[in-house]
Structure 1
Amino acid sequence: MAHYKAADSKREQFRRYLEKSGVLDTLTKALLLTSKDVVLVALYEEPEKPNSALDFLKHHLGASAPENPEIEALRLEVAEMKEKYEAVLEENKKLKTKLAQYEPPQEEKRDE
C-alpha cells in the first residue's frame, strides 16, 4: 500500500511540474497524440528533470529542427516584398499630392 501512495505522489509531482511549466497547455493544443505520449513517457523517465520541460518537448517533437533553406528564402522574399510595398505606398502618396496641385478644385469642376 505504501508503494502505491509513493507512485501516486510521484505522478502528482510530475503532473504539477508539467502544469507549472506550461507543457500541458501546449500538448493539449497540439495534435501530436502519438508523439506526445512517447515524449511524455521519455520526460517522465528522465532521472534529472530538465529546467524547461517545454524546451525538452520541443526538442524531442522536432519543433527545434533546423529551418528548411527554402523556408528561409521565402521569409527573405516576404521581407523584401514588404519593403517594396512600403516604397510603392510612399511613392503613390507623393504622386497623389503632386497630381492634386495640377487638378482644379472640386468646386471649379462642378461649375464648368
Structure 2
Amino acid sequence: MTSTYRPNESKREEFRRYLEKGGVVDSITKALVALYEEAEKPNNAAEFVRRYMGASGPDTAELETTKNELMCLREKIDELTRENETLKEKLQKYESGGQ
C-alpha cells in the first residue's frame, strides 16, 4: 500500500509547487485575506473571490436578470409568431375572397 500512496503524494506535492510557482496560491490567499478583512461579509463569498481575482464575468444577480429577460423575450417571440400566422391566414382569406 505504501508504494501506491507515495506516487500520489509526489503528484500532489508537484502540483502544489506548480500552483505556488504560478502565483496561484498567493492570489487565492490575498483574495481570502481581503474577504476576511471585509467589514460586511458579502452574501456570495465565491463571487467576491472571483471579482477580487479579476474575473470579468457577470455576477449571479446579472445572470438571473438576463435569464428572466430572455424568457420574457422568448414568450414575446412566440406571441408575435402566433399573431403573424393569424394575420397571414386572414390576409390569405381576404385575398382569395376579393378575386
TM-score class, shorter-chain normalisation, is 0.3 to 0.5
Normalised by the length of structure 1, the TM-score is 0.39
